[in-house]
Each structure stands twice: as C-alpha cells, then as structure tokens.
Amino acid sequence: MVFAAETGGFDLLVFWVQILTLVTAAHIFGVVMRKIGLPSVVGALLAGLVLGPSVFGVAWESGFEWFLPENSEQTAALQAVSWVGVALLLVVTGFETDLGLISKLGRPALLVTAGSLLVPLIGGVVAGMLLPSVFLADGAERLTFTLFVALALSVSSLAVVAKILSELGLMRRDFGQITVAAGMANDVVGWIMLGVFTGLATSGEISALQVLATLGGIVAFGVLALTVGQRIVDLSLRRVRRTGGSLAAALTVCMVIMLGFGVATEWLGVEAVLGAFVAGVVLHRSRFQHEEVIHHLEGLTGALFAPVFFATAGLQVDLRLLNDAEALGWALVILLVAIVFKFAGAYGGARLAGRTHRAGLALGAGLNARGALEIVIATVGLSVGVFSPTAFSVIVLVPVLTSLFASATLRGVVNNWQGTPDEQERLGREQALSRNLVVRTSRLLLPSRGGPESIAAAQVLHFAWPIEAGATVFTVADRDAEVDITPLRNVLHDRALEYRRVRHDDPVRAIIDESRLGFGVIGLGAQDYADTMQVISPLVDGVLSESPIPVVVVRRARNLDRPLPGAYSRAVVPVTGSPVSRAAQEVAFNLSAQLGTELHLTHVNTVRSEPAGLPSLFSRRMMARSGSIIGVQVVAQAEALALELGAATQTAVMDGTSPADEILKLARDIEADLVVMGANLRRVGDRPFLGHRVEQVLRDCDATVVVVLIPFDL
C-alpha cells in the first residue's frame, strides 16, 4: 500500500524532518548546556533559535523555506505536537506539586504572586507608553498597544518554570513550591487578561460580564476538579487496580483525564495546559495511582515532547527584524524592564512575607522564566493589528532570553544554600523516605475486628510510619457481628483514617483483594501460637501466603494484662545486611525516634559445632574472624542509618551456633519488651515459611515480636 506524502498544503516528509531535527538538536544543545551547568531546557530554546529564521534562515534560505514553509497546515501540525508536549510537561508538574505544602506557605505564595504580577505590569505600562511608533501596527491605539506590552512583560510561564526547577532538583524546596503556585496564578491571570485586552482591541470595549464569567468558570472548575473529578479519578484507578493494575491501563486513565481537563479549561477560555496541570495534581492525589506512571510520563515527555515544545518556541524568534539601532536599543530596554521589574516584584513579595533574602532572590530568578503565553500574546497582538512585525519579534525574543537569565541566575542563587532548618529537616525526611523499602508515605492497610492484637499492630505502624501515610482499617465480618474500632481510631488519631467493612466468605481473599488497591503495607496483629502446624494463625498464614505487598506482623507480648504497653523501652534488632533486615531497621529506627526506645543492634556470627582437631579448629577460627569483620561492617551500616533517622542504639557482634538462641538470650538479659526482625515471604507447600530463626523467636520469645516480611517477587 502506498500513502501520499503530501496532502494539500501539508507535507508529511517535512513534518517528520521537523520533529527529527528539533528533537535531535534540542538534546544536543541540552547536553552542552548541562556540561556548563545550565538546565537542558536552555539548550532546547537555543536549538530552536538556531534552527529559526535568525540563523538557519540566513545561512541557507532555500533549505529553511523547505524546512519551515509558510503555510498554516504545516505550522498547525508542529504546534499540535508542541501543545501536547507542554500538556504532558504540566501533568508531570502537577504530580510534583504539593497542595498541602503550598497551603502552609499560603501568605508567601499570595504576596509573591501579587508582586510578580503587579510590579512588572506597571513597568510594562511605562515601557508601552514610551516605545516609538515603529513598534505599533498601522492604526493601532496607544492604550491597547500599551496593555498588550504590559501583559507580555508581566506573566511567567508555568511550563518553563517547572522544567527549570525540575532539572535543577529544586521542585520540593519551599521556594520551588511557591514558584509553581505563583507561576500557575500568572498563567491563569495572563489568559484572562489576554481575553479582555483582545476584546478591547477588536470591539473597542471591555466586557465585564465576560470577565466575571471566565473567573467564575475557573473557580467552579477548580472546585469540581478537586471534588467530583477526584472521585472519578479514584474510581477509575481503583477499577484498574481491581482488574490487575496494569501500567497501560493506569496511563490510559491519566491521558483521558489530562485531555478532559484540558478541554474544560480551553472551553472556559483559559489555556488547556492549565487543565493538564490540575489533572496532574488530581491524579497524584489519588491513593490508587500506579507508582510507575510518573516515571513513564517523565521519560516520554523528556525524551520527545518537551524538547519539541521548547525548540518550537525558539523557532519563532526572527532577529533580522532588529536590524536598526533604534529597534535594537528599545528591544534591550524591553528586555531590561521584563527582567528587573519581574525580579523586583517577586523579591519584594517574598520579603514582605518574611522570606529570607536568598529565598527572595531565588523567587525573583525563577519567576523570570517566560514561555508559550508570551508567544501567544505576541501572535494575538500581531493578528488583531496591535503589534508591528518588529514588536512581535521583540516580544517573542523576551521568553527565550528571560528563560536563559532565569536558569543561570537561579543556579547561582541556590548554590550552597540549604534553606531554613525546618526546610532542611523536611527535605531530609523526604529523601530518607524515598530510599526506604517499606516505611514510605503509601497507605497502610490494617485488617481488624478490634482485638488487642490488631491494636498492637496499629500502634507499631502509627509510630513507625510518617504521618502523611493514611490508614484504612478493614473489617471482614457479618452485619450482626459487633466490632469496636474506637481504640484503633484513638491510636491512629493524627493521620487520615478510613474504615471499610465488607462481607465475604473468605477473609483472606478479601484482604488480599483490598491490598491491591494502592496500599504500601499490610499491618497484621497476630495471636499467640494455637496450633503447632501453623506459623501464626489461619488468617495470618493465609495472608502471608498470598500477599503481593510487604506485611508487618505484630505478635503482642505474652502475659500482658493491658491492651498496649505505654511505650517500648528496649528492643533487640538483629541485623544481617540483607534488604529484609534493612526493612526491619526502618521500622525499628522510626519507632525509636518517636518513642525513645533504646535499640540493641546485634549481628550473630554462626559458628559450626565440629569435633576438635587442628584443621577444624584453624578453619573455625578463620571463619569466626571473617564473620566478625563482616558483622562489624553490617552493624556499622545499621548504626549509620539509625543516626540518620534519630534512633538511640547500642551495638553488639556475637558468635553462636544458633542465631535464634543468641537473640532470645539477649532479649532476656536486657529485659527487652520488643524484638524487630526481617524475613522474606516464602511458600513451602500450603504454608508460609519465615525461616527457622524467625519462627523460633516467634515461638519462644515472651516480648512483643515485630516481623517485617517482603515477598520474594518484589
């Protein structure tokens, strides 16, 4: 089958060459920029500038005319890919936006937003009034022209700001979240004002009704997106989890929500990519979200779509129009006004809000990045007869150069700046959580019928997991069964808590099905041994045999006449250097940091019991020496992690023929009320197998025993 390479004014070969060239050049320039310490987004913008009329168009005019023909179909195709790119970029930005943190920074975000808009708006008005007539289109009114100039110089680009922050690793900084919030507000206000000023340019009057309708629509959209939209997203992703949780299905939900929200905001007269940003926020807030979605979106966006978007922005700059001294001089004035007034407004807002001098400089630098909105303003100004071609080129040049300025100055400002102690503590906690295997911010599942064993499990999980991790208490019981979860509510009172009660003939199957709905760990309270043929109990054994996620089993202390100990005073934590041992350490160290529990980190070198003899004696001594060295290293690594997490520890390396016997002896000697161990979930026949060491400690230890279990296939 043969396909036509050209349809009407559209040439498929040109289109594919455009995409190939832009992506390749953007990545090459991006690599160069990273080598000199600048974000790759700067390279993509410069790539577009080089491939545009200013360089390529001068060096090879006929080649440039073929590469970038002047027809609407070809331009529309390239712009379509570009807009998809910026939409995906803002979905990713939404995933990294923390509404809770922004709400805590509400006053600084509000003042920075106001300053970063109003001050450059004033500067733009002054510049617009002073610019010579060469910048005005024939017949344009000075007032309308001035308003368009002021608007173009005052708004930031959320997409460019987000890309710069992300590449510099600054998105989670306090000023980074304020910058994102201010950038979002800049875009919203910019699009509303563009609609108003366009109406003034075409009809000669401003429609107050239209302005109010747009504002009301935006507010209504935001409320509906975070309520009804959130429920739709949760239901959709929950269904994906129920049916197997495939990544492809989760990505499909993300794309549909992004496009739907984009259509809604475009219909409201605001940029569709703002809808994509809100879609990212809502998708990230869903606890049913697939954990790999964000990585795939970032990879696709960074490799293909974002480079096309930023390079396309640079394509529209034509420096040839600045061929006389007057135009060039005033272009520099406009650029200076854009940078200085934006910087001053953001810095002043930050200082009024009580932010530090360094934070004000960072906000002033970051919010200087402009992008697609300025290009749209320039295009609209040209099409409605406000801007001359010279003015259009200058306004389009502003986002390219201000983004270069923002990248360079922001990197310089944040160099060796760690932020406030509170911010350092938050970032350190987030970094530590990101490295953890088990103790993270994903939701906790607590199957319970209100018994003391599940209350003990709730206490361990509550003090070991960050407060950001929500919890679901899950009961499988008939309607007539009395279940009192009030003690669980009291234990988990500080975190987001959900209670679900279902009827099911198979409690194990109900728990396993629920665990697939975006949970990070199952917390199980275990009763004492009732049957030596079982590891713990039929319910716990069944969950351990099938669980797809880590499980924390808490077998409460024996001969305890009260539901819970007030706090654990001393705990034994065996360390082996394995991933499961690391997972158990995460639980123990966070528990100690919260309760002040004294942890005894111990490593047992296993020594064989062999008949005496010179060869075997020498062999045992060499093995013991080697084991001691390894044991010291393993304990030292665990001690370093404990210090990082704020846990109080003592350490010991022991020799013994049975690790379990040594652990039990140490627990008795120090009168420990807690033992925390790690194990892999293995299946032997119809029962789980936790390992001889763990099962012996569970059987013979009188203190509370916490076993952190990870499936082998994780």
708/705 Cα distance (integer angstroms): 10
Check pLDDT > 60 for residue 207.
Answer: yes
Q: Give residue 532's pLDDT band: very low, low, confident or very high (50, 70, 90).
A: low
- What sign does the CA torsion over 507, 509, 510, 512 have? positive
* Per-residue model confidence (pLDDT) at position 126: 96
* Per-residue model confidence (pLDDT) at position 204: 67
Q: Over the range 179-197, which residues count as b (16 or more CB within 10 Å of their CB) and which as e?
A: bbbbbbbbbbbbbbbbbbb
320/59 Cα distance (integer angstroms): 12
Check pLDDT > 70 for residue 89.
Answer: yes
**Cβ atoms < 10 Å from Cβ of 396:** 25
Fold classified for 433-711 = Rossmann fold (3.40.50)
- Tell me what the pLDDT averaged over the chain comes to: 85
- Helix H or strand E encompassing 149: helix 142-154
Check pLDDT > 80 for residue 261.
Answer: yes
**DSSP 3-state of 404:** helix
Check pLDDT > 80 for residue 372.
Answer: no
**DSSP 3-state of 37:** coil
Residues of the chain with CATH 1.20.1530.20: 6-413
Pick the CATH number of 6-413 from 1.20.1530.20, 1.10.8.60, 3.40.50.720, 3.40.50.300: 1.20.1530.20
Q: Give residue 623's pLDDT band: very low, low, confident or very high (50, 70, 90).
A: very low
Is residue 585 a contact partner of residue 713, using CB atoms and an 8 Å limit? no
Check pLDDT > 60 for residue 37.
Answer: yes
> In this structure, what DSSP letter does residue 324 have?
S
Q: Give residue 230's pLDDT band: very low, low, confident or very high (50, 70, 90).
A: very high
Beta strands in 329-467 (DSSP E): 443-447
108/456 Cα distance (integer angstroms): 42
Q: Give residue 190's pLDDT band: very low, low, confident or very high (50, 70, 90).
A: confident
**Cβ atoms < 10 Å from Cβ of 632:** 13
Is residue 194 a contact partner of residue 151, using CB atoms and an 8 Å limit? yes
Please name the residues in contact with 506: beta carbons below 8 A apart, sequence gap of 6 or more: none
Distances from the Cα of 464 to the Cαs of 442, 557, 572, 587, in angstroms? 13, 18, 16, 5
Check pLDDT > 90 for residue 447.
Answer: yes
Q: Which two tokens stand for residue 582?
A: 């690391």
483/479 Cα distance (integer angstroms): 10
Please name the residues in contact with 442: beta carbons below 8 A apart, sequence gap of 6 or more: 287, 291, 469, 518, 519, 520, 521
Is residue 474 a contact partner of residue 485, using CB atoms and an 8 Å limit? no
**Cβ atoms < 10 Å from Cβ of 5:** 12
**DSSP 3-state of 510:** helix
pLDDT tens digits for range 554-571: 998 887 655 455 578 999
487/495 Cα distance (integer angstroms): 14
The partner residues of 396 in beta bridges, in order of sequence, read none
> In this structure, what DSSP letter does residue 38 have?
-
661/670 Cα distance (integer angstroms): 14
Residues of the chain with CATH 3.40.50.12370: 433-711
648-656 and 598-606: which strand pairing? parallel
Average pLDDT, integer, range 209-232:
86
Check pLDDT > 60 for residue 4.
Answer: no
* Per-residue model confidence (pLDDT) at position 344: 96
Instruction: Please report, rounded to a whole number, the percentage of residues in the chain having pLDDT higher than 70.
Output: 91
> In this structure, what DSSP letter does residue 323 have?
-
Check pLDDT > 50 for residue 390.
Answer: yes
Largest Cα–Cα distance of the chain, in whole Å? Answer: 108
Among the residue ranges 11-20, 53-62, 95-104, 158-167, the one predicted with the least confidence is 95-104
Angle between helices 106-130 and 142-154 (to 10 degrees): 140
266/283 Cα distance (integer angstroms): 19
Average pLDDT, integer, range 315-335:
86
Angle at 26 between CA 277 and CA 183, to 5 degrees: 25
Distances from the Cα of 662 to the Cαs of 600, 654, 657, 705, in angstroms? 13, 8, 9, 15
Check pLDDT > 80 for residue 208.
Answer: no
* Per-residue model confidence (pLDDT) at position 253: 94
* Per-residue model confidence (pLDDT) at position 627: 52
Average pLDDT, integer, range 150-178:
88
Is residue 173 a contact partner of residue 108, using CB atoms and an 8 Å limit? no
Burial status of residue 89 (CB atoms within 10 A of its CB: 0-12, 13-18, 19 or more): buried
pLDDT tens digits for range 115-155: 999 999 999 999 999 999 889 998 888 999 999 999 999 99
**Cβ atoms < 10 Å from Cβ of 212:** 10
Is residue 47 a contact partner of residue 311, using CB atoms and an 8 Å limit? yes
Angle at 239 between CA 238 and CA 245, to 5 degrees: 80
> In this structure, what DSSP letter does residue 440 have?
S
Please name the residues in contact with 549: beta carbons below 8 A apart, sequence gap of 6 or more: 515, 519, 520, 521, 522, 711, 714
* Per-residue model confidence (pLDDT) at position 113: 93
**DSSP 3-state of 554:** strand
621/241 Cα distance (integer angstroms): 54
Range from 19-33, 205-219, 626-640 that averages highest in pLDDT: 19-33
> In this structure, what DSSP letter does residue 301 have?
I
Q: Give residue 614's pLDDT band: very low, low, confident or very high (50, 70, 90).
A: very low
Q: Give residue 572's pLDDT band: very low, low, confident or very high (50, 70, 90).
A: very high
3-state helix, strand, coil in the chain (%, to 5): 65, 10, 25
